[in-house]
Chains A and B, each alone.
Chain A
Amino acid sequence: MTQPKEIFVLTDRCVGCRTCTIACAVAHSTSKTLFGAVAETPRPKSRIYVEWAAPAHKVPMVCRHCEDAPCMHACISGAIRRTDDGVVITDTDKCIGCWTCVMVCPYGMIGRDLERHKAYRCDRCPDRDIPACVAACPTGALVYQTVPAYAADVRRHASGEMVKGKGS
């Protein structure tokens, strides 16, 4: 089975511009354009957040689509399920707005849609090859990659660091 891709965050790359949040909201708008999205009612919502980790880090936070997803287990109405692509999604027809998922999510990734009275979260942009936030990031702080490929990159970098200064 092919490995699904995840959104990884390179925290040292984020400059806190929040371009990802705009791209996310536009991707979840009706018009799919920025100038159209800002005129829509209700306003489209971003599913990615940029947090400030004092004293020096800006951290994009997006749903991890956990393998053992607490939200999915906790959802009392059975609205949360995992797709064949490994993406954890909320079925808005079934969602009753009890916010149990909000209580159990360790990352705080569930939002409340006040107009529709439903929970919302990252859906990994099912209509796009690369999620909008990843495509928009100007510094490459968001990486859309499979776990083995991402881990291999980290290993290559770490191995280089380990032997640095030891000569060849």
Chain B
Amino acid sequence: MAVTDDILEKSIDPTVHQMLARARELGLETVWDRYEKMLPECGFGELGVCCRNCNMGPCRISPFEDQGPQRGICGATADIIVARNLIRMIAGGAAAHSDHGRDLAHTLLLTAEGKGGGYEIKDEAKLATLAKEYGIATENRTKEEIALDLAKAVYAEFGRQEGFVQFTRRAPAKRVAQWQKMGIDPRGIDREIVEIMHRTHIGVDNDPVNLILQGLKASIADGWGGSMIATEISDVLFGTPTPVRSVANLGVLKADEVNIVAHGHEPVLSEMILAAAADPELVAKAKSLGAKGINVVGMCCTGNEIIMRHGIPLAGNFLQQELAVITGAVEAMIVDVQCIMPSLGSLCECFHTRFISTSYKAKFPGAIHIQFNEEKALDIAKQIVKVAVENYPRRVQDKVCIPDEKTECMVGFSTEAVIKALGGTLDPLLEAIKSGAVHGIAGVVGCNNPKIKHDHGHVALVRELIKNNVLVVTTGCNAIACAKVGLMLPEAAADAGEGLRGVCQALGVPPVLHMGSCVDISRILATCAAVANALGVDISDLPVAGAAPEWMSEKAVSIGAYVVSSGIFTVLGTVPPVLGGPVVTDVLTRGAEDVVGAVFAVETDPVKGAALMIAHIDKKRAALGI
């Protein structure tokens, strides 16, 4: 296996180097090969100036004046097309996060009704907090009774027609007032997503700024609605995360155990897979087939969900999903929804690996479909794990190649856990920020993207931030990247600037705090809101910034939009498809300041991206007089 220079250029992760060399040896194609075959990517698409919203077209606007059409057939300018396309991406992302939230609400409803096939209400304190927020009576009531009312109230947020989404009121009053003034306070979750699809239909909204405002509105319904519901209800059902130690990277796969990779997003499935994998009968079965046990590991955000609640090892982030299969040691890749590559089907066929889809919403070529059903959750999970266990004898030992690398990490910093680590109040953090020991806080999130050297965008940006005393809170694929390089250990404080190092050492926490999966960016919002409320200011006044160094998904577009809408300056590490629209570009990078008190910046160099964030934090500190 030769690790060539071009392989070294693709990632900073040695497991990726090893597995790409292995893929080449076996003649297997990966996402990086397909990316290279796709080059050059379509320039019209890169600029966002192609429109397929009606069948007079497809239309695309020439980015070069006098060199082709300057308007679509309907008359749409480049800016109209760019704005429509951008907010359709937001609709896709907000829909994905919110449907995840809806599934959690559904599971809570079934559990409260006694129909949940194995689920229980684990965090009664959080249940009570949420009930209070919704004005649901708790005295002399069982947790099931309270949960039933809460599930119904949360369910109603999706189809709400008028009024507001309850969790948006966690934002500072000034922020809510600004949303109301700009007409972007969401009335319901589904309504705003549907309205995007209406407005972007041929001949409806043709004002780029008006279109973008609706995009922001739907994104707020995601961050402070669908995503926040997903987080909070997951905590009620599965427990609010508290700091726990575990390990991350492909080396968590075991040569002598049944390896199950749980990949996707919703803990509804993975929690039950964990329960099933602990079933004595299935463990005995695995042993009878020659395995030493059953090893469940997580991938992508499913990995984040189960590592932070159970310390289950994390196999890797988005660009490592194919590489896990190429180890030849995976008995089953079990998936639900989001960020699951359709290439896994044909890749699994090259090995003994069973690729098992479980959601009627997400079917894949080459997958075995075992429909998951919350009412019979544990039974179905056992059936799925059984397929994996029975597959163990089919493993071809000659094809097994598991990298050694795995790194220890400390994860599970929910907002509640952060406050607990601070001694029960935000005050020590506020004092550290005021004194300058902690210069500011950065939320670094988002995907992987083969356009950026894998994990380099994430890690280089985060290292630069902590070096400059900026505390990093992270979720999603960035969190996994940080865990793999050891930035999520208290010892990593040694890499931080003097002030941050002291704070981390005093509290025994890492300088990079794992807050969860991509829906858990809602935890970052809630933390920012709590800090702003404690200081009596708006979120846009805080010395905080956001970044998505390797983003690629529509969900990330919605995240970027709601983070900026919440008043947080955000740096994107890959160029969004908007540069074909000069008005749209100006609104996102300059004009949004007047609307929501924050803007986007694009910087593909992670170190320069960190510098933009630090400069922004400097500006906010100066304005606060600290």
Contact = CB atoms under 8 A, between A and B. Distances in A.
A138 B42 contact: yes
A18 B580 CA distance: 15
Interface in A101-135: 114, 135
B44 interface: yes
B47 A34 contact: yes
B332 to A, nearest CB: 37
A18 B47 CA distance: 14
Contacts of A38: 47, 63-64, 579-580
Nearest to A36: B579
Contact of A25 (B40, B44, B64, B579): B64
A21 B67 CA distance: 8
Interface in B29-48: 40, 42-44, 46-47
Interface in A26-51: 26, 34-35, 37-39, 43-46
A22 B579 contact: no
B68 A21 contact: yes
A34 B39 CA distance: 14
Contact of A35 (B62, B65, B67, B575): B575
A47 to B, nearest CB: 10
A60 B346 CA distance: 36
B60 interface: yes
A43 B42 contact: no
Size category of the binding interface on chain B:
10 to 19
B43 A22 contact: yes
Contact of B68 (A18, A44, A136): A18
B64 A18 contact: no
Nearest to B47: A38
Contacts of B42: 17, 19, 138
Nearest to A26: B43
Nearest to B42: A19
Interface string B39-73: 01011101100000000000010111111100000
Contacts, number: 55
A14 interface: no
A32 to B, nearest CB: 13
Contacts of A46: 64, 67-68
A94 B44 CA distance: 35
A43 B43 contact: no
A121 to B, nearest CB: 14
A23 interface: yes
B44 A135 contact: no
A43 B43 CA distance: 15
Interface in B558-612: 575, 579-580
Of listed B40, B46, B62, residue having the most chain A CB within 10 A: B40
Contacts of B579: 35, 38-39
A35 B62 CA distance: 13
A71 to B, nearest CB: 21
A118 to B, nearest CB: 15
A44 B67 CA distance: 10
A37 B68 CA distance: 16
Contacts of B66: 45, 114
Contacts of A26: 43
Contacts of B60: 18
Nearest to A29: B64
A131 to B, nearest CB: 13
A138 to B, nearest CB: 7
Given A35-B579, A38-B579, A23 B64 contact: no
Contact of B44 (A18, A35, A37, A39): A18
Nearest to A39: B579
B65 A43 contact: yes
B44 A22 contact: yes
Contacts of B62: 18, 21
Interface string A2-21: 00000000000000011101
Contact of B64 (A43, A114, A135, A138): A43
A37 B46 CA distance: 13
Nearest to B575: A35
A52 to B, nearest CB: 12
B45 to A, nearest CB: 10
A45 B575 contact: no
Nearest to A35: B579
B605 to A, nearest CB: 14
Contacts of A135: 40
Contacts of A17: 42, 44
Contacts of A34: 43, 46-47, 63
B580 A45 contact: no
A92 to B, nearest CB: 18
Which 6 A-B pairs have CB atoms at the shortest separation, nearest pair first? A22-B43, A25-B64, A38-B63, A43-B64, A43-B65, A136-B40
25 contacts: A17-B44, A18-B44, A18-B60, A18-B62, A18-B68, A19-B40, A19-B43, A21-B64, A21-B68, A22-B43, A22-B44, A22-B63, A23-B40, A25-B63, A34-B46, A35-B46, A35-B575, A38-B63, A38-B64, A38-B580, A43-B63, A43-B64, A114-B66, A138-B40, A138-B42
Given A35-B579, A37-B63, 5 more contacts: A23-B40, A34-B46, A39-B579, A45-B64, A138-B40
